[in-house]
């Protein structure tokens, strides 16, 4: 074999080795990422109690935040001290986190936490067990059949933007979600829920999904002259001692009353009973089995995709619907409207006038205001 052939062979082998090395460098992170993701699990962890946790103190039935008037199994009567809201201006506008649900950042005990602005939760404030332990919050355990609710909790103040809320009525729960990778806990959820009773202390709450902002206001809602809005009747109704924000809005051409949940990421969620009524008006283009994260843990659901759905004046293409079993803890009449239906617009919960406002999506992207 001539010298020139040897040189050529060496060059070819060198080139192949270089290509193989580059392939290993390029593809290995991807393969590692896929391998890691395949071992990721989001699990729900339920504590039995917090009384024995280091740093957690038990409140007396008569304390600076509330007085327990009656405490019996599965029933408690409480007189809460006043919750106070302090704003530098009549309106507090804050950045909305990049999330399908409505979340903002808040501060408790000089620690930052994401807070879910959740009209589907009927109380003021609720924290989970991780948040209690991290902040060494004082608690008052209550015997209850509801695994999502464990007792009363003392939060002296919570800050959101320029707003400070002191002595909010607060509950705590014993469960939280964790991310496990290769058998190790890599993340624990510190959950804070800002519920409907807290929201209704304002004249309105505005959720801007275009410029990613949330506004809490002590002034009446008024739109700009160049803005076009539709509004629908909103009522706060009690069912089994739970207050719900109910919206009367046309769905698929029929006037419908439905619960509004700003803490839900899907477009619609409903029981199997409701779906049997609802499905007759829609064309299904996809169906899979899935799971939904609830306060009490995972629930199995059917995930339906429909070709088109008309909601008020909005045409929603490829709307996603979660179907829960009639035996779910949510009940056989469960029917809920979530935030995915309004991801391209601005909505307002007007508690002063009992109205739900939806801004037309036209030209919204070209008229962003006050971006952070």
Percent of the chain at pLDDT above 70?
A: 86
Structural domain harbouring 363: 222-367
Average confidence score pLDDT of the chain: 85
For residues 33-58, give the mean pLDDT. 74
Q: What is the 3-state secondary structure (H, E, C) of the chain?
A: CCHHHHHHHHHHHHHHHHHHHHHHHHHHHHHHHHHHHHCEEEEEEECCCCCCCCCCCECCCECCCEEEEEEECCEEEEEECCCEEEECCCEEEEECCCCCCCEEEEEECCEEEEEEEECCCCCCEEECHHHHHHHCCEEEECCCCCCCCCEEEECCEEEECCEEEECCCEEECCEEEEEEECCEEEEECCCEEEEHHHHCCCCEEEEECCCCEEEEECCCCCCCCCCCEEEEEEEEEEECCEEEEEEEEEECCEEEEEEECCCCCCCEEEEHHHHHHHHHHCCEEEEEEEEEEECCEEEEEEEEEEEEEEECCEEEEEEEEEEECCCCCCCCCCEEECHHHHCCCEEEEECCCCEEEEECCCCCHHHCCCCC
Q: Residue 315 above 80 pLDDT?
A: yes
Same domain, 143 and 289: no
Say what the pLDDT of residue 371 is.
43
**What's the structural domain count of the chain?**
2
Of the pLDDT bands very low, low, confident and very high (cuts 50, 70, 90), residue 85 is very high
For residue 5, being part of any structural domain is answered with: no
Question: Tens of pLDDT along 143-201?
Answer: 877 767 899 999 999 999 999 999 999 999 998 888 888 878 888 888 899 999 999 99
CATH number at residue 269: 2.40.70.10
**What are the residues facing 256 on neighbouring strands?**
249
pTM for this structure? 0.83
Of the pLDDT bands very low, low, confident and very high (cuts 50, 70, 90), residue 56 is confident
Same domain, 89 and 53: yes
**What are the residues facing 288 on neighbouring strands?**
303
For residues 322-350, give the mean pLDDT. 92
Nearest to 346 by CA among 354, 337, 336, 356: 356
For residues 82-99, give the mean pLDDT. 94
Q: Residue 43 above 90 pLDDT?
A: no
Same domain, 229 and 99: no
Percent of the chain at pLDDT above 90?
A: 55
Lowest mean pLDDT among 67-81, 288-302, 314-328: 288-302
For residue 190, being part of any structural domain is answered with: yes
Say what the pLDDT of residue 7 is.
45
Say what the pLDDT of residue 227 is.
84
Same domain, 256 and 161: no
For residues 240-265, give the mean pLDDT. 91
CATH number at residue 51: 2.40.70
Tell me if 319 sits within 8 A of 307, measured CB to CB: no
């Amino acid at each position: 074999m001539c010298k020139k052939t040897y040189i050529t062979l060496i060059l070819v082998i060198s080139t192949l080795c270089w290509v193989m090395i580059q392939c290993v460098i390029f593809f290995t992170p991807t393969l590692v990422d896929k391998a890691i993701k395949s071992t990721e699990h989001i699990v729900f962890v339920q504590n039995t109690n917090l009384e024995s946790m280091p740093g957690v103190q038990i409140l007396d039935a008569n304390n600076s935040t509330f007085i327990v008037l009656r405490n019996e199994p599965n029933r408690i009567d409480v007189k809460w001290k006043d919750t106070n809201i302090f704003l530098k201006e009549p309106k507090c506008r804050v950045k909305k986190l990049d999330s399908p649900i409505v979340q903002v950042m808040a501060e408790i005990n000089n620690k930052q936490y994401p807070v879910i602005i959740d009209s589907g939760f009927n109380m003021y404030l609720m924290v989970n067990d991780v948040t209690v332990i991290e902040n060494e919050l004082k608690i008052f355990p209550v015997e209850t059949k509801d695994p999502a609710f464990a007792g009363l909790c003392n939060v002296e103040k919570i800050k959101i933007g320029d707003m400070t809320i002191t002595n909010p009525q607060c509950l705590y729960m014993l469960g939280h979600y964790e991310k496990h990778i290769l058998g190790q806990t890599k993340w624990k959820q510190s959950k804070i829920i800002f519920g409907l009773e807290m929201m209704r202390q304002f004249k309105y709450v505005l959720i801007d999904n275009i410029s990613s902002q949330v506004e809490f206001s002590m002034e009446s809602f008024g739109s700009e002259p160049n803005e076009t809005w539709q509004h629908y009747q909103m009522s706060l109704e009690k069912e089994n001692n739970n207050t719900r924000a109910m919206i009367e809005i046309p769905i698929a051409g029929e006037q419908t009353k439905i619960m509004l949940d700003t803490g839900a990421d899907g477009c619609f969620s409903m029981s199997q009973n409701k779906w049997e009524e609802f499905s007759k008006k829609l064309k299904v283009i996809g169906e899979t089995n899935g799971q939904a994260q609830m306060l009490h843990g995972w629930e199995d659901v059917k995930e339906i995709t429909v070709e088109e759905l008309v909601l008020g004046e909005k045409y929603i293409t490829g709307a996603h619907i979660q179907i829960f079993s009639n035996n779910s803890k949510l009940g056989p009449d469960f029917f809920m409207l979530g935030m995915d239906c309004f991801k391209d617009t601005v909505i307002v919960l007007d508690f002063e006038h009992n109205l739900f406002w939806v801004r037309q999506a036209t030209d919204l992207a070209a008229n962003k205001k006050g971006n952070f």
